[in-house]
Structures are given as C-alpha cells and as structure tokens.
Amino acid sequence: MKHSGDHNLTPDLLIQGEEESSWLVTYADIMTILLVFFVLLYTLSFFEKEKYRHAVEDIKIKLDQNRKTANLRDFIDIRQNTDKQFSIEDITGLHSRKKLLFNKLVKFADSGTQANNIATVMKDGKIIVRVKGKALFKSGSASLNKDAAAIFDNIIKILKKYPDYNINIKGHTDDVPISTPVFPSNWELSAVRATTVLKYLISKGISPSRLTATGYGDVMPLVPNTSEKNRAQNRRVEFVLEKKRAGRLTTLSAIQIANEMHSDMNSKTTRDLQSGSGAGLSGSST
C-alpha cells in the first residue's frame, strides 16, 4: 500500500521544520513593537497645547504645596484633528518667562517720577527699553546726570534676575549737527553715551559677556526730526534685550533661571490664593 508524501515525513524532519521557522515569531514580535512605537510617536504629536501647559503648571503647583500629583492621562489629550503645534519653549515656560520680564519692565517704566521718559516695547521678538536722552545726559555731553543712576539701578535690579538675556545698548541722537573737540559728530556722541551706560552696568555687577554698546547717531529716528518735540523723542538710549542662543548658558546661569522661575511661580501661587483663585485650584485637583 502506498502512502502520500506527507505521511512519509519522519518526526525528525517535522521538528527541524519547526526550528527553521521559529524566527518568524521573533520577527512578528519586533514588527508589533515597532508598530506600537510609531503609533505612540504619532499620537504624541497631537497634544492639545493649552491643556498640556495648564496641566504642567498645575502639577508644579501641586508639588510646591505637597499635594498628590495628577495621573499622566489627566493632562495628555490625544486629538485626531488639530493644527496646533508647540515648541520646547512653550512646554518649559520660557515664553511666559519673557512675558514676565516684559511686564516687570513695563511696570517700572510706568511708575515713578520718570514715567514720561521711559517706554518699554516688544519688537521682532526683542524687548526694548527706551530712555529719553534728557533724563540721562545734558545736551552735547556723555556724562550721566544725577537722575540717571536711579533709572539704571532699577533696570539692573530686574536684568540681574534674567541672565539668559543679552543686552545691546544703543545710543541715538537727533539730526542737529555737533562739532566739538570731544565729539566731532553725532556718531561719536551716541557711541560714547552707549559706552558710558555699558560701563555703569558693568560697575553694578552685570556680566560684560552679556553687553554690547553701539552708537547710531541720527540714522534711526523714531519720528521725523521736524520739531523740537520729535527731536527730544529721538535723543535716547535703548536697552535691547534678546534671548541667548541655546547652549550658551553657564551652569550658574541655568541655576539662576531655575531659581527665578521657581520664585515667580511661588509668588503667582500666593497671589492666586490671596485673591481667592486658590480654592479653584484645590477644587480642580480633586
């Protein structure tokens, strides 16, 4: 009696066949893991920006108050249809830190007896503090007035808490020509004024590596030099604050930044609790 070919296979051949195909199990496992990995990457790219940020801030507050932290899924919201994107600065709070610096400078500029001589603006991602020349120097001079120290000391007090920002000091004049043995033109006058301010900041503890000084003469007016009022507005010194590029901060600067952010957070939390919003935070965490 004849048997089919399948019945002629011996047990040894069957075992050998199973061993040769066992790699398929490992291969399938690897493919499954890779698939899950890429699905995870895809879903992580669709966070809801605002909810994520608020959740991180809430967690920080809870840690400060020694509360129970939130579950991961409480603040990770996977969305299928969204066009929102966020950067590392959004997550770490560096953008809010810039706004905080800007608000502090605005508050300083709007208070005190020199409020009419100081203005703070945001332009091209940079913070600019403008101080009118009459508050700092006498006409045709690069020596600081007695009132200048009080203005600079308040600005320095704020800037020391933000070592991650470079400070470009810019001197500007009006278009009235000047010709003296010391200052042959407005170029020299504006440059020496900017350098004088730079030296003062260094004497008060600002790191020279953060500072630059430039004189622009009358080539960058804020308004046309058509009246004395406009000329007075164009005679100014500007502090242009720009975030340092990544990788250029020292360890000490990084520690200062972290401490400042922690201090700001504690201050905000205290203000919220005092104003009654602390109850809302407590309620939302339950």
Between strands 236-243 and 165-172, the pairing is antiparallel
Q: Is the pLDDT score of 57 beyond 80?
A: no
Distance CA 134, CA 142 (A): 11
What is the chain's mean pLDDT, rounded?
76
Distance CA 50, CA 39 (A): 23
Cβ count near 180 (within 10 Å): 11
Q: Which pLDDT band, with edges at 50, 70 and 90, does 184 fall under?
A: very high
Find the helix or strand (DSSP H, E) in which 222 lies: none
DSSP code at position 144: B
pTM of the model: 0.57
- When mean pLDDT is compared over 8-17, 22-31, 114-123, the highest value belongs to 114-123
Confidence (pLDDT) at 150: 92
Distance CA 168, CA 158 (A): 15
Q: Which amino acid is at 182?
A: V
Residue 48 burial (10 A CB sphere; 0-12, 13-18, 19+)? middle
Confidence (pLDDT) at 83: 45
Short-list 229, 76, 83, 104, CA closest to 165: 104
Q: What is the CATH number that goes with domain 92-249?
A: 3.30.1330.60
